[in-house]
Structure 1
C-alpha cells in the first residue's frame, strides 16, 4: 500500500474512532482519548515514511498537502473544541454567545494573518507546491505568521498551516451552527421540535436511518460529521441516541437475514405505495397529477 492510500485509510479510520469518543462524558478523558488516536495515526505514518519513503515527488506533495494535514487537523480540532468548551461561561446566554462569537473572530483573524497561504489553500493552487510541500523546499516563505519548530523528516514549510486551515474551517462551521442554535432558542424558535414532532419508534431505527443519510451524503454534500447528524436528528425528534456506536454494534450483530431491518421495511413500504394503484389520494390533489 502506497502512502497516499495509507493516509486516506488511516484518516477514514480515525474519523470513526474519534466519533466513538463522543460517548465519553468526562471532557478531559475525551480529550486524552482523541489525542491518543491522532498521535497513533501520525506515528504509523511516520514509520511508513522511514521504511518505504515516497515513490516520487508528486506523492510527497500529496502527502504533505493533504494526507498528513487532514489527520493532524483532527488533533488541532479536538484541542480547540476542548478549550472552547472548557472556557464556556456556565451561566448567561449572552455571555455564552459572546464567548462563541469571540472564537469565530479569532478564526477570522487567523485567516487574515495568513491570507496569502490561505488563498493558496482555498484556490487549490499548485504552482508553489515544490517549495511548500517538499521537505527542505524552503522555510523563508511569504505569507507565514506562524511556523513551529518541526521534524524536518516529517514536515514541510506549509503542512502545519494547511492542517490549521482544515481544522479551523471545520471549527468555524461548528461554531456558526452552535451560535445559530442558541440564537434560535433565544428568539423563541424551538430548535428541538416543530409542531410537537417526536420520534416514537425505536431509537435503534433512528440510528439506522441516520447512518443511511450519512453514508449516502445527503446533507451538506456529505460534508458533515456523523456526530453532527446524530445530534441534529436526536434534538429535532427528541430522542436520545447518544450511544449510537453501541446501537450500531448491535445492528451488526443481528442474526436475521437482513441487518438493516428498518431501512428494508421503509423501502418495501415506499415501493408498495408506488405500486399500489388504490393508494389514497387527498381530494384536493385529485386531477392535479392526472388522477
Structure 2
C-alpha cells in the first residue's frame, strides 16, 4: 500500500498545483481540477477493489489519512465551481453578499453532525474502527457526489464526512479571501499613524482574541467582518496578520478541546490577580 499510495498521491498533488498555476480563473481552474480528479478517483478505486489491507490499522490509515486527500479536493472544487458560476458578474456589492452567504453556510456546517465533528476536532481515535473500516452492513450516507460514494467496497461510513469537514475548512479561507480582495479593491488607502503599542504575544493568540470578539458581535453590532477587525488590531498593536488569520483560525479549530486556550488563561490570570488584591 505504501509504495502505491506514496507515488499516487505525490503525482496527484503535483498535478493539482500545475493546474492551479496554469489558470487563475476560478471557474476554469475548478473545471480542470474536477476533470483530473475524476480520472484519478477511478484509478484509485480500481486499485482499491483488488487490494487487501494487511491489517485493520492499514485500512483505517488509508480511509482516514489518505483517501481524504483526493475526495476533500473533489468536494472543495465542486463547491467552488457552484459558487463561482452563480456569482454576480458586475456589482462588487452583490458579489460580496454572494460570497458572504456561502461563507455563512460554511460556518453552519459544524452543526450538521456535532458528535463526529467534535470527534475529529479533538483528535480522537477511539471510534476509528467504527468510522474508517469498511462494512457492508453499515449505512453509508449517499450525497450528490456519487463518484465518491457509490460502492461500499470503496468507502466507509465516515470518510466522506471527514473529507467534507476538511473541504469546508479550505472553502472558508477561500471565501474570506475573496471577500477581502473585493473590499480592498474598493477601499481608498489612508496614511497610517504608527501605534505606540506592540503586541508581544503570539499571532495565534491574537487571532483567538479577534475571533472571540467577532463571534460576540462586539464591533458595530456584529456588522464588521473578521478581516476588518484584524486590520484594526494590526494597526493598533503593530502586528501583521493579513490572510494568515484564516489559517491560524483553522489551527485553532483543529485543537483538542478546549479551543480557547489563550482566553481561558486570560480569565484565570484575571481572577488570580483580583483575588490577590483582596488577600
- Matching residue of 1:151: 151
Q: CA deviation at 1:29?
A: 5.4
- Matching residue of 1:136: 135
Report if the CA contact (8 A) 2:68-2:162 is conserved: yes
Q: CA deviation at 1:52?
A: 3.0
Residue 140 to residue 151, structure 1, CA distance change in 2 (3 Å): closer
Where structure 1 has 5 or more consecutive residues not aligned to the other structure, the ranges are 191-218, 225-291
- Matching residue of 1:50: 49
- Matching residue of 1:182: 182
Secondary structure in structure 1 of the residue aligned to 2:151: coil
Report if the CA contact (8 A) 1:137-1:157 is conserved: no
Q: CA deviation at 1:163?
A: 1.0
Q: CA deviation at 1:24?
A: 4.3
2: CA distance, partners of 1:60 / 1:49 = 11
Q: CA deviation at 1:81?
A: 1.2
2: CA distance, partners of 1:166 / 1:45 = 20
2: CA distance, partners of 1:30 / 1:177 = 17
The answer to whether structure 1 residue 60 and structure 2 residue 94 are counterparts is: no
- Matching residue of 1:21: 19
2: CA distance, partners of 1:12 / 1:91 = 39
Which protein has the larger Cα radius of gyration, Structure 1 or Structure 2? Answer: 1
Greater shift, 125-134 or 44-53, is seen at: 44-53
TM-score (norm 2): 0.59
Q: Which of residues 2, 9, 12 in structure 1 aligns to 2:10?
A: 12
Residue 26 to residue 181, structure 1, CA distance change in 2 (3 Å): closer
Aligned residues between the structures: 188
1: CA distance, partners of 2:136 / 2:151 = 14
CA-based RMSD of the aligned residues comes to 2.8
Residue 86 to residue 151, structure 1, CA distance change in 2 (3 Å): same
Residue 178 to residue 26, structure 1, CA distance change in 2 (3 Å): closer
Where structure 2 has 5 or more consecutive residues not aligned to the other structure, the ranges are 144-148, 191-242, 249-279
Secondary structure in structure 2 of the residue aligned to 1:96: helix
1: CA distance, partners of 2:25 / 2:169 = 26
Secondary structure in structure 2 of the residue aligned to 1:89: coil
Residue 93 to residue 44, structure 1, CA distance change in 2 (3 Å): same
- Matching residue of 1:113: 112
Residue 56 to residue 75, structure 1, CA distance change in 2 (3 Å): same
The C-alpha deviation readout for 1:63-84, integer Å capped at 9, x for no partner, is 1112111111111111111111
2: CA distance, partners of 1:97 / 1:69 = 30
Q: CA deviation at 1:161?
A: 0.9
Q: CA deviation at 1:171?
A: 0.9
- Matching residue of 1:126: 125
TM-score (norm 1): 0.57
